[in-house]
Structure 1
Amino acid sequence: MKSIALLWFGIAVFSVGQAQAPEIFPDLVPNTQSNDSFKDQEWFEFRIHYGFFNASIATLKLEETILNNRPVFHAKGYGKTIGLARWFFKVEDHYESYFDPSSGVPYKAIRDIYEGGYTKDIETDFDHEAQEAFVHDKKKKTKTRIPISEKAQDFISAFYYLRNFLPPGELEPNRSFAINMFFDNDNYLFKLKYVGKETLNSKFGRVSCLKFKPIVQAGRVFKEKESVTLWVSDDRNRIPIRMQADLAIGSIKVDLEKFKNLKHPFRIEISQ
């Protein structure tokens, strides 16, 4: 149930696979225009549906700030169950990430969650030069150094990294690429396959989207390894419009509900 709860937090479309040896995929290259997809004070609200239930909401806000005397982006995510779902399974998730405005690599990640009685309160500091993560588990009162993969992303920074550093120019359908991630004290490869372009009917109107399939683990939670589908706006903002996941039992759909302070105009084909 905890894996499903992660999906309730709107950015959990980046579901990671099995822990693997460190590896870097060079075809995911930086955009020539740094920070071209987002800016200070960008804000999203997502609504998450589990089957017919309006199960939860999630918000994500981005701010410019200073961390250890260097300018960074500070992303703050919050997700919670609402309505009837909250009676059955209370979720209060806080995720934060401080990442470099140019390279996109994270310097600090914060995870403070409550999921049906399951709790975690963890701060992670990244040293990319030494390729180490310093993990402070406040609940267990432990501090641990763990080797990380090159340019490893955290749970939240990966969202912005992929928006800003997807291969520029034309994407070839069925092309796959990957990034290194560090989550829950493990190194992972997050793999993503580009399917093609698709026009999606949304609450804002018809939106031209890039369609992706994150590669997840088939089994207890997901039906198949390509059970998750993500639609991202085919414009310079690269914002997530919808995510849908077919689970072993039921399905989850995440829709963009509101947004503010996008860096570029949001392109809509036909207003509804």
Structure 2
Amino acid sequence: MLTLRTISTFFLGLWLFTANIAAEAQQTVELQPDQVDMATLAVIFSGDETLHYSVSWSGGVKIGDISMRIRPNQTKNQQFVISAHVKDYGPLSLIYPVNDTFRCFVGGPMKLPYRYEVEQKEGYGRETTRLTLYDQQKLEVRYRKNKEPQQTFRLDGTVYNEFASFIITRALAFKGEGNIVVPTFADKKRHEVRVSATEREKRPTLFGERDTLKVQPKMRFKGLYEKSGDTILWLTDDRCRVPVEIHSKIVVGSLVAELVEYSNSACPELRPKPKR
């Protein structure tokens, strides 16, 4: 059965399960400031960006929605909250209702995470909470699920999580056929994830036909997404770099996330166009 846990994993675990892990690297690799387009990053974190995705199975049957928002942290200057709400749709909501909330707190010029909160309400009466704290100076991650004992993990470099990795990828300064390493903490360890842009192409989007940047990660280990090269992400090829569509093959069929609503006062040129 295709459950909404699949949707949550699709979006929030996207980078973990579809990335090319640089396992052979012997020296710690960090994401460098000159590998990020700081102008695009400023647009993304300009104050209040919202994105709404409709998620379907194999591009046909809708199974859920993902609403995402990036806004300033009201209690800490120059820091931001990336939040997402995942909810099922249609018959699935009767069989296995899902109502999940994710909050990732980031800060600094590279928008590194320092706190990650997860509240999952899945099935009937099942609730799970998770808290992850990232100390980027001490190179340490602390994790706790529900009331279980806290776990501590040592790192050999700074890290993003799967949520923050997805966002920072929008601002990567891709050059030619080279790839960029985005260090990501997942499955209790630090992965050096290689990301590359494969080509540019025109594509129908919420904003009409637009030039897009096609990003196709690869993986070297199995998870929900089973095969190398089976995830494709399209970003608008402009200063806003909005993810307009994501395709990921899973064990049975594929999942498609299509952007259906978007707002960011820093991107007034991106306005929805009526479908013909």
Kindly report which structure 2 residues correspond to 1:32-47, keeping only aligned pairs within 5 A, or say none. Answer: 32-33=38-39, 35-47=42-54
Bigger mean CA offset, 13-22 vs 246-255: 13-22
* Correspondence 1:23 to 2:28: yes
Deviations 1:173-216 (A, max 9, x none): x4322211113433223332211101111243101100011223
Which AA in structure 1 matches 2:8?
L
Q: In structure 2, how many angstroms separate the alpha carbons of the residues matched to 1:141 and 1:19?
A: 32
Cα distance between partner residues in 2 of 1:271 and 1:45: 17
> Take 1:88 and 1:187, find their aligned partners in 2: how far apart are those partners?
36
Deviations 1:124-181 (A, max 9, x none): 11111110012232x24211221134220022222222223x11xx631x43222111
Aligned partner of 1:93: which letter?
A: D
Structure 1 SS opposite 2:110: coil
Conserved in 2, the CA contact under 8 Å of 1:207 and 1:268?
Answer: no
- CA-to-partner distance for each residue in 1:213-252, whole Å, 9 max, x for gaps? 1223565643521000000010111110000112231111
TM-score for the superposition, normalised by structure 2: 0.83
Query: Residue in 2 aligned with 1:199?
Result: 202
Tell me whether 257-266 or 124-133 shows the greater mean CA deviation.
257-266
The total of aligned residue pairs comes to 265
Cα distance change, pair 220–183 in 1 and its aligned pair in 2 (3 A): closer
When residues 262 and 241 of structure 1 are mapped into structure 2, their CA distance, relative to the original with a 3 A threshold, is farther
Change (3 A) 1:203 1:152: same
Q: Is 1:190 equivalent to 2:196 in the alignment?
A: no
- Residue type of the partner of 1:128? Q
What's the TM-score, normalizing by structure 1? 0.84
Q: Please give the secondary structure, in 2, of the residue aligned with 1:259.
A: strand
1:112 maps to 119
Return the match for 1:4 from 3, 6, 17. Answer: 6
Query: Aligned to 2:155, which of 148, 151, 161?
Result: 148
Structure 2 gaps, min length 5: none
Is the deviation greater in 50-59 or in 116-125?
A: 116-125
Give the alignment of 1:1-272 within 5 angstroms. Answer: 4-9=6-11, 11-16=12-17, 23-25=28-30, 29-33=35-39, 35-51=42-58, 52-67=60-75, 69-116=76-123, 120-137=128-145, 139-164=146-171, 166-167=172-173, 171-172=175-176, 174-217=177-220, 219=222, 221-266=224-269, 272=275
Query: Structure 1 26/153 Cα, relative in aligned 2: closer, same or farther at 3 Å?
Result: closer
One-letter code of the match for 1:142?
P
Q: Is the 8 A contact 2:217 2:232 kept in 1?
A: yes
Cα displacement (A) at 1:72: 0.7
User: Percentage identity across aligned positions?
Assistant: 15
| Native 8 Å contact 2:63 2:90 kept in 1 | yes
Contact 1:220 1:248 in 2 (8 A): no
* CA 1:56–1:26: 2 relative to 1, 3 Å: closer
